[in-house]
Amino acid sequence: MSTSPETVEKQAGRGFKRIVYSREEIQRRVAEMAREITEAHRPEDNLLVLGLLKGSFIFMADLVRSILLPLQLDFLVASSYGNATRTSGEVKLLYDPEASLQGRSVILVEDIIDSGTTLNQLFPLLEARGPKSLEVCALLHKRVAQLDRPVRWVGFDAPKEFLVGYGLDYSENFRHLPFIGSI
């Protein structure tokens, strides 16, 4: 038995305040961002797309499949929370990328920029590895963070609501949804 994407979205959307970005809106914007990244780089840039896990994995998968350049990808896991519910302000790398950043054009892919704590502390750690360039591509930006550097590519300005879906979670739930909703 096959279920249409519209049916999945309707069933999964129950209990949500609203669907903020539909599957179609996300697909359209991710394709636009991939075109922008393709136009901003050359094949000889030795492009490395570095995903910040876990939230970026779905976005990053769709993004890299639409970038029309040779590239490599890797991931990192960073935490500023530990076992607390509030950020400690100190970022620890829990998983370090295996790929070398030296002399490469690196795009750090983030699901959502909220406080900016993680990004602000990751910049110097990654810069110390000698990339030719280090840019950020974020699906969502709440525009409340004081970032040490601008975000080059932003999918959507996010409302100040708790969002889930398309990689974003609440207690590890809802990441699989093809849309972004507010709960």
Instruction: Quick: pLDDT tens for 43-99.
Output: 999 999 999 999 899 999 999 999 999 999 999 988 654 444 344 566 677 777 888
Distance, CA of 120 to CA of 86 (rounded, Å): 16
Active-site option among 45, 96, 114, 148: 114
Question: Taking the mean position of all CA atoms in its chain, how far away is CA 118?
Answer: 12
Q: What is the pLDDT of residues 85-132, one digit of tens each?
A: 344 566 677 777 888 999 999 999 999 998 888 888 889 989 999 999
Q: In the prediction, which pLDDT does 16 show?
A: 76
Class of domain 18-38+46-80+89-182: alpha beta
Is 114 annotated in the active site? Answer: yes
Q: Which of 64, 7, 9 is nearest to 180 (CA)?
A: 9
Supply 74's token pair: 């890797």
Beta strands in the chain (DSSP E): 18-21, 47-53, 71-79, 92-95, 105-113, 133-141, 153-157, 163-164, 180-182
pTM for the whole thing?
0.85
